[in-house]
Structure 1
Amino acid sequence: MSRDLEGAEVKARRQQELPPKADPAIEALVHDIIGKVADRWTMLILEALHEHGTLRFTQLGKAVGRISQKMLTQTVRQMEQDGLVRRTVHPVIPPHVDYTLTPLGESLGAAFCGVWIWAETHYVEIQQAREAFAAGRRGAPPR
């Protein structure tokens, strides 16, 4: 994902203190969105549409790579339902369907760009921790 800058509103909200109690509706929405976006296909579709703009269904599948037609269909439908993707059907034969990120989808991609930057920044530390853990497990007795 590209390193798009965060919006000013998001930056300002991050500077504010957290409220003493989270709104249960917002908390449920956050859990729902994280659950959906944390799956690899949603993130890859977000990235493909961000990089390439509007894509036809088959082009989107190729851009994502190694995704079944069924999984691509399910994922873009869910993204459309959540307002992240706009689906345009052109009345021609054979049917022509385009997918484009909505502004909401673009902003979600920008929000998750922070995870990309964090991983890039801490890549060496994470690799060292994984290697140390694996080395320790090799010498440790089985549980």
Structure 2
Amino acid sequence: MDVFLRDCPTRAVLDLIAGKWTMLVLVALEDGRPMRFAELRRRLDGVTSKVLTQTLRALEREGLLTRSVYPTVPPRVEYRLTRMGREVGGLVQSITDWSQANIAAVQAAREEFDGRSQHPSPGSAS
């Protein structure tokens, strides 16, 4: 497997994991506690029901989470990370921690870059 090759199946996994909502679902479930759909939706401010459903299905399909349905009225559905899901969830949690620790530096770099692009150097195309 060579992830740099167009047809490498690893790319599909990387595409899934790199998605914003996937990363946030993995972090939300990373502590091992199962969560219900509505609880996840509240936790992930801004996600739509449709996108959350698609994300959960994709994670289940790849073996990163399990969906348990309990025969109650109404049915209770819970989501929990699998062993593989917890492994990748830990990695994503590290990225989240890094992002939170470095947000001030990232914002400063962004402002500095944006300030430069508003004042192009002489001879550059507008």
* 2:72 is equivalent to residue 95 of structure 1: no
Q: Shift of the alpha carbon at 1:123?
A: 4.0
| Identity between Structure 1 and Structure 2 (%) | 31
Query: Runs of 4+ in structure 1 displaced over 6 angstroms?
Result: none
Q: Which has the higher contact order (CA 8 A, sep 6+)?
A: 1
Deviations 1:73-92 (A, max 9, x none): 11101000011111001112
C-alpha contact 2:21 2:55 (8 A) present in aligned 1: yes
Separation in structure 2 between the aligned mates of residue 54 and residue 87 of structure 1, nearest angstrom: 9
User: Structure 1: 5+ residue runs without aligned partners?
Assistant: 1-22
Bigger shift: residues 58-67 or 100-109: 58-67
TM score, norm. by length of structure 2: 0.79
C-alpha contact 2:27 2:89 (8 A) present in aligned 1: yes
Distance 1:138 1:26, change over 3 A: closer
Bigger shift: residues 43-52 or 55-64: 43-52
Distance 1:131 1:46, change over 3 A: same
C-alpha RMSD over aligned residues: 2.5
Aligned residues: 121
* 2:42 is equivalent to residue 59 of structure 1: no
- Higher helix proportion: 1
TM score, norm. by length of structure 1: 0.71
Separation in structure 2 between the aligned mates of residue 94 and residue 72 of structure 1, nearest angstrom: 20
Counterpart for residue 2 of structure 2:
24
* 2:57 is equivalent to residue 77 of structure 1: yes
User: Structure 2: 5+ residue runs without aligned partners?
Assistant: none
